[in-house]
Every structure is written in structure tokens, then in C-alpha cells.
Amino acid sequence: MTCRCRPAARLLLALLIVGAGCASAPPVTTLEDEPPRLLNAFFGLNDALPDEVFWLCPGGGGTDGMPVTFSRRLSGTVPPASFAVVLRSGAKKTPLCATTAPANEASENHTVLLVGDLGGIDDPPVRVEVVSDLWADGVVGAVDNARGTAVEVTPLQAGPTLVLAIAMTPGAIDSDCPPATTQLLMVTWNGGVVPDVDANQEMHRLAYTVTTDAGDVIPMALGDLDDRDNYVHLCLDTDAPVQRVRARAAVLVDPNNDENPETSVTVFTAR
């Protein structure tokens, strides 16, 4: 991936933004019929979190950052000891901190940021395991426990990719999509993203293609852009059922300044 000259610390100011929470109840999808599972673990930064991360994780400055994304929203606190990060050598690391901030609005909470010594260039993380009880939204019970789920780690040099997308009616969640929006598509990247140094938000909008039963469409607008987390709202002017969303390559960058590859995911529909 191409590395641009944008300081990582500038992008990581997003980590200091703790959402106040969304008043709307989060949408329910068919994912709630399944036990929660890890979708992705992204080795986002190696020894590069800024000192300002103190507000989320005292002592986290200068350490590693790894967002991990679940298929369902998590509820309650997220103990760092719930996670084991397995290195290439076989050694296991426990994060110093684990937090859903900054992506912790009521409609979000799929992604947990792991902070601490999580490996390095010579002995990188290769797998993340949930080793103790971690509850998803909903009634607490065996089906809701994420314990025992695991996923391979996307390496440091890789760019950000889409990992989850949910289509819903406008008003299902708080959003700044325009009034003309007839359908909202909430997409989740595996790490925080902003437009590349050579791009802008209009290029960001045009980068998405949404496949519907009536053909491919481009979002009329984008929402949820100001908090620099890993969620983006695609504001659509069609209510045709949505099947898939893709983003073309080299428009967005992660906190390590790696550009996104071409990426796509299947879309779930809110019930």
C-alpha cells in the first residue's frame, strides 16, 4: 500500500472523541439470530498511538492500536483481559485497554479498539481470540456470549477494508443524511478512515457503488463523517432492496496512511 505524508497523529485524534450516544434504538438484523463472532482484527498502528490517547487509555501513548470488529454490537464494559492477541512466535499478549470509543454511539459498538503491546514488526500479531465472557446486545444468555470466537489479524501494511453493512429506513438511527434520503446504508470499515491526501469527501462519495434489485446506484450524500471513526452513512435516493456495496481503491487511508484496496461486502437489512 502507498504511504502518504499525512501524520498518523492527526488521524488518531478520532480516538479522543467519545460519542455521547444515539437516542434512537439500534436496528435489528438477521445477525441477531446468530451467536456473535469476530469479523476482523486490524493491526492499525505499531508503537504509534499519540500521547493524547491517555484520555481513553492511561499509558497507551506510543503503543499499538488494533480495532477488532464483531458481527453484533457489544453491551456494557469490555474488559481487556477478554482478549488474547497471538503473535507469530506463539506468544500471547493481553491488551492494556479495550474500548468501543470512538465508535460507541447506540447504532455502532461493533468495533473494540485494543491498545497496548500487541506485537511488532519482528513478531507481529496473527490472531485475536476472545477468551472470557463478552456479551452482545440483547438478553444475556449462551447464544449471546462471544467467548471462544477468533479471527486472523489483517497485517500492519494492509489498507482498510469494508467489513459490515446494514441497510435501514431513514430515521432508524440518528444521522445527518439529507431529508431526501429514502434509504440509509450504514457501512463499517475495519479501522478509522479519512479521504486520502489526494482525495476529498466528494471523491469519497463517488467511490461507493451500491448494488440493488433495481441496478447499481451511487449514494446521493454521505453522513456521519465528522467523528473520524470507522462508520460511514451512505444516503440513498432509492428504496430498492440492497444486495452489496463496494468501494473503489485508493480513496481512503487508515491511521497508518495505507490506502484502501477495492473492497466489498454483502448488505444485511434491518428488520
Distance CA 151, CA 251 (A): 26
CB atoms within 10 A of CB 263: 18
pTM of the model: 0.89
Residue 143, pLDDT > 70, answer: no
At residue 40, the pLDDT reads: 98
Pairing of strands 150-154, 38-42: parallel
Fold match, 29-154 / 162-269: yes
Residues 210, 219 contacting (CB under 8 angstroms): yes
What architecture is domain 29-154?
Sandwich (2.60)
At residue 248, the pLDDT reads: 98
**Residue 68 pLDDT grade (very low, low, confident, very high; cuts 50, 70, 90):** very high
Please state the domain extents for the chain.
29-154, 162-269
Residue 64, pLDDT > 90, answer: yes
Q: What is the CATH number of domain 162-269?
A: 2.60.40
pLDDT tens track for 186-215: 999 999 999 998 899 999 999 999 999 999
- For residue 112, the cross-strand partners are 68
Q: What is the mean pLDDT of the chain?
A: 88
